[in-house]
Amino acid sequence: MSARTKARRRALNILFSADIRGDAISVALDAEAVRAANEPERAASWLYAREIVDGVIDHLDEIDELLTTHSRDWRIERMPAVDRAVLRLSTWELVYNDEIDVAVAIDEAVELVKDLSTDGSGAFVNGVLARIARAS
């Protein structure tokens, strides 16, 4: 598993845990930063995970607007929490990170939800992200 794939999983864990607990994302990020300081062997994945989460925090309103626009009748609060977290981190990669290829961002997102969410989540996430990519 590549460092970026691991970073995406770490970012997903931060976004998901904040959502489930009802905490601000920054609170979950700070808790993970403390944990990461004690895990120097995972430093490579931590740096990109932090970049993703900071990006989501900085652009959360715009990201949620894109998700609302392109999710076709799915309100963000109705989405499974894993799907919501993956869509937020992947939308940040698609729209705000020029270093990530569109196909890679979408494929990584789909793989995450296939492993961690509902049977229909892969197709749903793929469709939403593909529409965002076409519009960007």
Return the closest-CA partner of residue 15 out of 98, 35, 7: 7
Query: What confidence score (pLDDT) does residue 1 get?
Result: 74
- For residues 73, 74, 77, 81, the Cα torsion angle rounded to the nearest 10 degrees is -170
Which pTM was predicted?
A: 0.94
Range 119-131 average pLDDT: 96
The H or E element containing residue 71 is: none
Q: Which domain holds residue 45?
A: 3-135
Task: Report the Cα–Cα distance between both ends of the chain, in Å, rounded.
Answer: 29
Which CATH number does the domain housing residue 19 bear? 1.10.940.10
* Per-residue pLDDT tens digits for 3-26: 899 999 999 999 999 999 999 999
* Per-residue pLDDT tens digits for 81-124: 999 999 999 999 999 999 999 999 999 999 999 999 999 999 99
The count of domains in the chain is: 1
Distance separating alpha carbons of residues 84 and 15, to the nearest angstrom: 9
Question: What is the separation of C-alpha 106 from the centre of its chain, rounded to a whole number of angstroms?
Answer: 11
